[in-house]
Structure 1
Amino acid sequence: MPSPRMMSFCLSALLSGLLLGLPSAHSDDALRERLEDEHAFGSDWWIYNDMAEALAAAREQNKPLFVTFRCVPCEDCSAFDAEVASGNDVIAKLASEKFIPIRQVEMKGVDLSQFQFDYDLNWAAMFINADGTVYARYGTQSAEGADAYNSIEGLKKTMQRVLELHENYPENADQLRGKRGADKPYRTALEMPGLPNKDRFRQLTSRRNCIHCHNLHDAEHFAAQESGEFTHDMLWRFPLPDNLGLKIDPDNGRRIKDVVNGSAAAAVGLQEGEEVLQMNGQAITSIADMQWVLHNLPNDATKVRVTGSESGEKVLALKPGWKETDISWRGSLWSVSPRLRVWTPPIGSKERSELDLAEGSGAFEARWINNGEPGGRAALEGGLRKGDIIVAVDGKSLPLTPAQFQLYVKLNYKVGEKLPVTVIRNGKRRELQIPLVE
């Protein structure tokens, strides 16, 4: 058994890692002002962007940390963030009395080995012990919308489950061990090899130079593309339990509200109404906890163990490609090649009718072509013009949203190839070949 001195040294080393580069408490008000973080004003029970203070309090009071990550300039999840930060009395009471709550509003200095979650989210939470053990994650997004899977009731239930895990810790350590990911080869965002604009990010944090969560996935993409190690499998992050055939009630976080016929979940007899208690032996408190387990599985044929409150443990067989779904909502996709550098909003129903286009077929206006970037200049060289209506790719009309169109290009074409598009200009169809150069 390690000596008390050694245990103290190890804990000090852990805390030093968690605190690396984070600002001190005296900068709170100034940072709030620079970020224009209106949801943070008047919520004095939150520790603001100061992990050192939060960890010290957690150690002293033997409470779990409730760490929220909020990208303040982003609109998505703003209403939910307002409720959590200052609007809901139930969350405020739970957080202030039972947890050490901290509002983290930038990723600069955050220990990326400790805090691993879906960085494409605009709002996320992690619950941890002061020794670094991860109890839970909360926060989920999909093509259905930023808040389709988040709710105050669901967050409350997750917080209550975390308190139960904390009360039974460390006897339940085996159920928690897999919740912390493997250490990263870098400590913080500024050490990531693929992160651009590091000199700007090193400056005093403001709305214009804070490191957004999605910048971390961008950095991963850039580094992998530069090294030649990038694959599309990197994009299928944090798949939903829906991919198993499990529809989870967001107000509960683990209760099955539907099992899809013909799915992997249906094949093993998981039932509507029961709760998912564990996945691959990890304690489940939320949909995000399920996503963490699934995130760490391969996109090939594999298996996952799901323990239901009524069915017991079941082993689900997953087919190759089981992770793949609509990820067009992800902000970090812009950093994936090829980058078209064309803004393509959908045309209205009136214009669609005038052009005699069928409802449901994809039709996008080339409203802005970024000629300041290689991809935009290549689009112009390929004949695309502002105002062109893109109606087909490779001769096929695609029933896609603009974001899905951009994703389609990234998944089906490579840099060095040409994108064959059909456009309508001045009432006439034209066939173009757009070089993909970046």
Structure 2
Amino acid sequence: ERARRFHTSTPSLTCLCCCMSSDFSPLSLSCYLDDDPLQPVTSDETVSVGGTVILTCRVAESDNSSLQWSNTAQQTLYFGEKRALRDNRIQLHRSTPTELSITISDVQLSDEGEYTCSIFTMPVRTARATVTVLGVPGKPQISGFENAVQEGGKVTLTCTSTGSKPPAKLRWYRGDQELVGRPDVVESVPDDPTYNVSSELTLVVSRSDDNNLITCAVDHPSLAPGDKRSEQALRVLYSPVVEIQPESDLPREGEKFHLQCIGNGNPEPTSYIWEKKDGELPPLSKADGAYLRFEMLNKSDNGVYLCHADNGIGNGQGEYTLLVQDPTAMSPSSGVDHAVIGGVVAVIVFILLCLLIVLGRYLIRHKGTYLTHEAKGSDDAPDADTAIINAEGGHSGAEDKKEYFI
């Protein structure tokens, strides 16, 4: 494979074996030294339409002979540093005694082909480089889903991309999940080397597919993954799922009250029918579209209420059990609040009782100390007068003796 990409006029067996080794590169000419150091070496290049390609020709040694690049029509592009063809897209990149490199910008499909590098020795030696031009595919276009599809129905989408070379591959995705479509259909373009590619995808849709994005992405060597893609939002029609929502969680006797019928469908429901299970609607109730209104609740209004919602695609039903409470009934949240308040009050009372107990013990201790001080000195006094003086603190030389009750 390596030998195939490097063309020479008369490669020897020794050179061929060397070029097939893993150490060979276009920048290394050692494998030619034993054969012909003046033999030019080139490499094949691949470029996308609109890009720039560099063509490089090198020799291992120089005998002052000039290198020359020619195009696919054998027109001379550069002879050494001298431009030979008036094409501003072609510019000199590097010129040395052993190398001649040129660039071709804004490459077109017509630039594809075999380019020749020559060195004018005796005899003339040549090498060829094949330039492959990739046709960049156009942005994919999705068709076949102009109208919404009913739940459970099928939809077929077609994705088309033009101008690719080689033919592009088309991939389908629903969100991040890749889907499998039919094999791509490839059509060649008359008088053009590019291809048009199309792919079909058939889906059975459900209500969960509504507003989901279906993506068609182009896979091609000229593009980075995800560079070119198109998205199509699915539109699915489905019958409503019905839920009845009460005005409050605590319907109390004597108050106004209403129920709301909520239908989740596509399209939105346009028709609502209210009824009471196992009976007729109360005389003080009024059906008003999606609402059932009660002017004044009564315990006779208790029961199961049904709402039927229709959106033209299908019908859905929801139900709600009404239990009218006494006028003094408190909501569950109020009960929780009262329980919290009661708990806080109990904690405060407990703390106050603890403080009273501690304060009582403190006062008792200090009262005992006071009584002990009144009798201080009477035990050691020789007579009653001395004992009274000592108790009043008149005996300054006596040692204070303290006694505490614990």
With normalisation by structure 2, the TM-score equals: 0.17
Larger RCO: 1 or 2 (CA < 8 Å, sep 6+): 1
Higher helix share: 1
| Bigger Cα Rg | 2
The normalised TM-score by structure 1 is 0.17
